[in-house]
């Protein structure tokens, strides 16, 4: 299939496909007349990349998954390098979750303090907002 069809089937743009090609994630096969040509395996690569990006992986983090598929494995996450990326991403997410919990606790404390202060104030109440 040609680049336009692949882009349509993958739900992306030809510009994105050219970018992936320039980054070495998508093979650059050409016909005799210079047209890019792709097959179902390339569509699988793109679906893997897009799924991972939907999960928050950056483009470079998808590389081990793509390489695993290119090596003939049935899934992009059936290689040790892919599992290592999963582990690193989980660690990153755990850190972000902890940071968000800390920030949430601070915002909650600020809110509680502000509400307590509001209850003891004798000045006119602000009518803006809720």
Terminal CA-to-CA distance of the chain, rounded, Å? Answer: 57
pLDDT at 118: 86
10 with 45: CB under 8 angstroms? Answer: no
- Evaluate if residue 23 carries a pLDDT over 80: yes
- Evaluate if residue 125 carries a pLDDT over 80: no
State how far the alpha carbon of 104 is from the alpha carbons of 15, 22, 101, 117, 129, in Å: 40, 41, 5, 20, 21
- B/e letters for 13-25, b = 16+ CB within 10 Å, e = fewer, are eeebbeebbeeeb
- Evaluate if residue 122 carries a pLDDT over 80: no
Q: Is the pTM of this model over 0.85?
A: no
pLDDT at 109: 97
pLDDT in tens, 36-69: 999 999 999 999 999 999 999 999 999 999 999 9
- Evaluate if residue 21 carries a pLDDT over 70: yes
| CA–CA distance, 112 with 12 (Å, rounded to integer) | 46
CATH code, residues 3-119: 1.10.1660.10
Q: What is the residue-wise DSSP string for 6-49?
A: HHHHHTS-HHHHHHHHHTTSS---B-TTS-B---HHHHHHHHHH
Per the model's pLDDT, the better-predicted residue between 130 and 6 turns out to be 6
Residue 30 phi, psi (nearest 5): -130, 150
pLDDT-derived band at 101 (thresholds 50, 70, 90) equals very high
Helix (H/G/I), strand (E/B), else coil: 69: helix
| CA–CA distance, 115 with 95 (Å, rounded to integer) | 30
């Amino acid at each position: 299939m040609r680049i336009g069809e692949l882009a349509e089937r993958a739900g992306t743009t030809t510009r994105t496909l050219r970018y992936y090609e320039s980054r070495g994630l998508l093979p650059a096969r050409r016909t005799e007349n210079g047209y890019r040509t792709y097959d179902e395996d390339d569509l699988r690569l793109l679906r893997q990349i897009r799924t991972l990006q939907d999960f928050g992986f950056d483009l470079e983090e998808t590389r081990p998954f793509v390489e695993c598929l290119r090596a003939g494995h049935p899934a992009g996450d059936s290689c040790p390098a892919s599992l290592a990326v999963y582990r690193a991403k989980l660690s990153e997410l755990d850190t972000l979750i902890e940071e968000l919990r800390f920030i949430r606790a601070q915002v909650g404390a600020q809110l509680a303090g502000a509400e307590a202060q509001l209850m003891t104030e004798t000045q006119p109440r602000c009518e803006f907002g809720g």
